[in-house]
Amino acid sequence: MASNLDYLNPELIPLEEKVNAYLEAEKSLQRAETDASPTVETSRSTLARLEQEIIAMLPTRDEWVKVNLGYGPSRVGAWHVPATNGTPERYELRVIH
């Protein structure tokens, strides 16, 4: 049985740091879009790169991994999105914080 304290595992620290960087990049993109900043495309590519790096770091797919983002257990996971209308299948990152 998994412990409720599994999210404090030191092996998850690199994943936690990457997720925090992703969340900051997400905020930067929202600010850039609101301000009509020319950095919108750069922010989008940074966010996409971080998303792929996080998905590669996850130990599992289609289920949540508990991580410590500084205020108790948060969850991150990669969920399968099937191919539709010419778009390839992929994994979508989801973060609950």
Q: What is the pLDDT of residues 19-67, one digit of tens each?
A: 999 999 999 999 989 988 888 999 999 999 999 999 999 999 999 999 9
- The residues spanned by each domain of the chain are 8-96
Contact 57, 18 (CB under 8 A): yes
The pLDDT score that the predictor gives to residue 6 is 79
Question: What does DSSP say about strands 90-96 and 65-68: parallel, antiparallel, or unpaired?
Answer: unpaired
The pLDDT score that the predictor gives to residue 92 is 96
Please tell me whether the overall predicted TM-score, pTM, comes out greater than 0.75 for this model: yes
